[in-house]
Amino acid sequence: MTDIAASNADLSLDIISDIACPWCAIGYNRLRLALEETGLSASITWHPYEINPHLDYEGTNLIDNIIYKYQMSKQQVAEMRARLTGLGAEVGFTFAYNEDMRVQNSLRAHQLIHWAKQFGKSHEVKLALLEAFFTHRKNIADIEVLADLATRKGLDGEAAKTMLMADACLAEVKAAASLWQQRGIQGVPAVVAQSKYLLSGAQSVEACKAWLLEMAAKPA
């Protein structure tokens, strides 16, 4: 089982990911299932990464963004979405794509996760953001949307709004993202166990199970 806060957890996991990354949603849920199936506990810490640093807070059409970034055709995008939707369903995550779905810069969302950490709510906020974006197609850069999400997770929504309007955590988020890039993280999802062992990409549940068991067997 995943145990987010326990200091006596079997494993310490740092997860580097972005809210707008579909493979990050799939990868986490595969890892979650692997933890449940192995019976291992993990203390999880989330870290920021931007897959769309070129976007602003207004964002753009998601299909157009993928075509621009990856030189894909509309048909290829449709096929990729269908595949992601199926893979998400396998691990209990809902992708609800439509033609008008937009994607925004994720820095404000990362600030909210960072800010929530002091209240022990960063994990809940991160998972809620993934669902807000992919399942409910919310604007993850809209301050009102983020403040409402914070409130629904038991946080002070007005304090969250004040923090976001001032970009109070922006420097810390950018520094954290830069640090992981300096450590060699060039794509997400990336999971680091015990501060030194890397698992790259959205690995299968079976691959995650084997890796977790290997990590748990290593000396502390």
> Is residue 36 situated within a structural domain?
yes
Q: Which one-letter amino acid corresponds to residue 35?
A: L
> Is residue 133 situated within a structural domain?
yes
Confidence band (pLDDT; 50, 70, 90) for 119? very high
> Is residue 4 situated within a structural domain?
no
> Is residue 1 situated within a structural domain?
no
Tokens representing 193?
A: 């166990």
Helix axis angle, 62-70 relative to 74-90, nearest 10°? 110
Tokens representing 68?
A: 């621009």
The string of pLDDT tens digits covering residues 205-215 is: 999 999 999 99
Q: At residue 3, does pLDDT exceed 80?
A: no
Number of domains composing the chain: 1
Q: How far separated are the first and last CA of the chain, in Å rounded?
A: 20
Cα–Cα distances in Å, from 49 out to 2, 106, 108, 111, 136?
A: 22, 9, 12, 11, 22
Q: Which domain holds residue 182?
A: 11-217
Which DSSP category does 188 fall into? S
- Rounded to two decimals, the pTM is 0.94
Confidence band (pLDDT; 50, 70, 90) for 5? very low
Q: Which of 90, 68, 89, 66 is nearest to 78 (CA)?
A: 66
Is 186 in a helix, a strand, or coil? coil
Q: For residue 20, give the CATH number of its domain.
A: 3.40.30.10
Which DSSP category does 103 fall into? E
Query: Which residue reads 């290829």 in tokens?
Result: 76
The string of pLDDT tens digits covering residues 103-117 is: 999 999 999 999 999
Mean confidence (pLDDT) of the chain = 95
Residues near 83 by beta carbon (within 8 Å), at least 6 away in sequence: none
Are 141 and 108 spatial neighbours (Cβ–Cβ below 8 Å)?
yes
> Is residue 3 situated within a structural domain?
no
> Is residue 6 situated within a structural domain?
no
> Is residue 72 situated within a structural domain?
yes
In what helix (H) or strand (E) does residue 12 lie, and over which residues does it extend? strand 11-17
> Is residue 91 situated within a structural domain?
yes
Helix axis angle, 122-134 relative to 143-152, nearest 10°? 130
